[in-house]
Amino acid sequence: MSSIPVQSPLTFPAWPQHGAEEREGLLHVLEQEGWWRNGGSEVDSFEREFADLHGAHRAIATTNGTHALELALSVLGVGPGDEVIVPAFTFIATSLAVQRVGAVPVPCDVRPDTYNLDVEAAARLVTPRTKVVMPVHMAGQLADMDALAELAAATGVTVLQDAAHAHSARWRGSRVGELGSIAAFSFQNGKLMTAGEGGAVLLPDDETHREAYLRHGCGRPPGDRLYAHLTQGSNFRMNEFSATVLRGQLSRLEAQVTLREERSRHLAALLGAIPGVVPQDRDERCDRMAHYMAMVRLPGITRDRRLAVVDALLEHGVPAFVAFPPVYRTAGYFQGPAVGDVDEIAKRCPVSEEIGSDCLWLHHRVLLADTPVLDRLAEVFADVVAAN
């Protein structure tokens, strides 16, 4: 517990946020003839609007972000015997989606500045079995898409973007859907837009869209009345209630991301001035960062002390969390195809080892607060770090 007196806990904008758009949409769906995508138009409309916002050819809405990754991997033909390079430092869903389609996730180290996939390290991991490299746009900062395009061209490996944190982000002026590869998003409760759960896959052409549509609905084509299951798949379909909520969320996303961009630079400067605190760095080629988290490292801190810092911040009303452990340090990683020895993997992922031990993050709703609140947050952060 913190030794710093808690006089008046900080308050931040609530999350999730909602308004008349979601309320009216839910009532509309409640009264319509059907509540699944084949009984209304909300899912279709959301897919079109989400694809348009991100510059993609088409989109498929899914039940959640993990299913979006599984669907994308399936569309790319990934299965047993294949390898998929994933960042070692990421939420476990990135790895689990690979395991669920029967493939082997191969953890790759990340960069110490952006926490994104180290593309040079990924190149060393490519084997004849490697089918996909899956960068995660950590905290809404796009991975090095230039280097990934070069890797794909040199090796024939396909890029699949895990864009769960990257709604409305851009790389050198290009939106996620304009980068030439499939991208998967999450709408889980804490994400930048949410229906509690949900996901989406952006598709670059008609062929991948057709395959994704089939596979997300048990292999059935649009309008099927004869149970013509044309391929394998599962039921990853989004319902009309989730879709109408997401249409409301989408209506305010751009303004929120713009505000977070402005506030994040202010907060990063404040936190970076605190001794022993190192904020996530920015690759300026990512000229619009979505800011799912405000991430910082406390180099040299022990795991117990890091948890004490997070607990103390929570006492002060700051929505703080310890960062993910490397995926190979979770039991779930080893419950699938052969994935290697943990100590062996750790040797090639020294940066992920460090970040997994000393990183913490603040929820993106802090970046919707006014600057005086952020000034006070930095003061509390400095006091808490000094006391722990």
The active-site residue out of 37, 54, 137, 165 is 165
297 flagged as catalytic: no
249 flagged as catalytic: no
220 flagged as catalytic: yes
The active-site residue out of 67, 216, 237, 297 is 237
165 flagged as catalytic: yes
7 flagged as catalytic: no
237 flagged as catalytic: yes
The active-site residue out of 191, 209, 215, 216 is 191
The active-site residue out of 12, 46, 50, 91 is 91
**CA-to-CA dists, residue 259 to 2, 165, 266, angstroms:** 31, 16, 11
Compute φ and ψ for 146, nearest 5 degrees: -65, -50
- For residue 36, the SS3 value is strand
The active-site residue out of 17, 18, 188, 266 is 188
The active-site residue out of 118, 162, 260, 306 is 162
The active-site residue out of 227, 304, 343, 347 is 227
The active-site residue out of 131, 137, 170, 220 is 220
Q: Name the residue type at position 324.
A: F
Omega of the bond leading into 16 within 30 degrees of 0 (cis) = yes
Beta carbons within 10 angstroms of residue 232's beta carbon:
11
End-to-end CA distance of the chain: 9
Tell me the sheet residues that pair with 162: 136, 184
E-strand spans in the chain? 58-62, 83-87, 104-108, 130-133, 158-162, 170-171, 174-175, 182-186, 199-203, 278-279, 293-297, 320-322, 359-363
188 flagged as catalytic: yes
CA-to-CA distance for 200 and 40, rounded, in angstroms?
18
> Catalytic residues, which ones?
91, 162, 165, 188, 191, 220, 227, 237
